[in-house]
A and B are shown apart, each in its own frame.
Chain A
Amino acid sequence: MNETPQYPNGIKYRTPRPRGTVAGAILGGLFGYAIGENTESAIGGGLLGAVLMHPPLSLHQALRQKFAENSLDVINFYRLGRFGAKVLFRYQNAYWTLESHAPQNPLMTTEQIEDWLYGDLIEKAENFLAQDSMRLRP
């Protein structure tokens, strides 16, 4: 359920935060069933819920989730102004920080900055793990 954000021209592509939530589909499904009291209504509501609850997780939550999938425990997340972010995580009994700064392009929207920082930090985490012959799960 990923979508490709259009970054302004000249900005290097970074993987955006995942979109779409299971919770939206569940709530929509329940709502649909409550109205129609049949399976078709529940499925229709589920689809509608998934669409309506489309916004991605916050940068902090999205990073926490992605890192956790790879057994990296995020301890804290720090904003470094509008264009920057730092994440502190634990890996093999040691603590590490990764920092990212998005290009300071005035055309970048807040959502694009969050997506860019997410992708960049994930890429840096991937490089970090590559040193130990590990890769982030796709």
Chain B
Amino acid sequence: MILKDALDALRIAFANFEQAARSDDKTPLQNALALSEAKETFAATEDKPNIVVFADADRFKAINTAHGQPGGDAAINQIGILIQEFFVKDCQAQAFRPSGDEFVILLHSKFLDTFKAATKSFAACQVQFDEKSFSVGVSFGYAVSDGNLEFEKVMSRAEAACKKAKMEGSGTCLEWTEEIEQTVFKGLRETCPDCGTINDCDVPQEMNLRELNSCAACGTKFKPANP
């Protein structure tokens, strides 16, 4: 009997451990590991999610600057709670926070209208923090799988749509289109080998630039990567 109880306790402990390994530490959502597992079954059958939604908190750096890291973490948690409420419960979606202030939601197309209507609630999410109050907005971009594209490609389309949505204001939700792909900005980064400056630059996707030419601080020309 003691052995049986001990084994049961071990089984429960192991199940809790497995769940903890896939849970986000700051929100009720799942983490990057869970997302990497969920993508294996994405759009695999008709009853599986076939839409990737990419969501990003707006002006998050400003929140961190104004309220410190705890304020930023409070905002992340509040967004996670709302995503859980509106999308996981109401749209039967799977939701993840792979890193930072970015969220990924896997959705079935039959819930798309409900989802789009709910995104409006994210224009200004109120956060009560240490007797102060501030709001944080979220922008959404999504892409629908055509059944052939790899998950990573659908996800990068959703991310591009989200970048475009951010330009239009918090709570905006846009579907990926070819036009968006051309107009959205792409981040390029190069560390200068001479002075160590990290050069960050956002360039329009349509310019088709793959790398930066020179260091903005010291002017050193960067060697082109292999074509």
Interface residues of A, Cβ cutoff 8 Å to B = 22-23, 26, 29-30, 33, 39, 42-43, 46, 75-76, 78, 86, 88, 90, 93-97
Contacts and interface: CB of A to CB of B under 8 A. Distances in A.
B3 A33 contact: yes
A78 B70 CA distance: 9
Given A26-B9, A76-B70, A95 B129 contact: yes
Contacts, number: 54
A29 B77 contact: no
A86 B127 CA distance: 19
Contacts of B117: none
B77 A90 contact: yes
A113 to B, nearest CB: 21
B2 A97 contact: no
Interface in B29-59: none
A39 B2 CA distance: 7
Contacts of A90: 74, 77
| Majority SS at the chain B contact face | helix
B186 interface: no
B2 A43 contact: yes
B70 A30 contact: no
21 contacts: A26-B13, A29-B6, A30-B3, A30-B6, A30-B10, A39-B2, A43-B2, A46-B2, A75-B73, A75-B74, A76-B25, A76-B69, A76-B70, A88-B70, A90-B77, A93-B128, A95-B78, A95-B127, A95-B129, A96-B129, A97-B130
B100 to A, nearest CB: 14
A33 B2 CA distance: 10
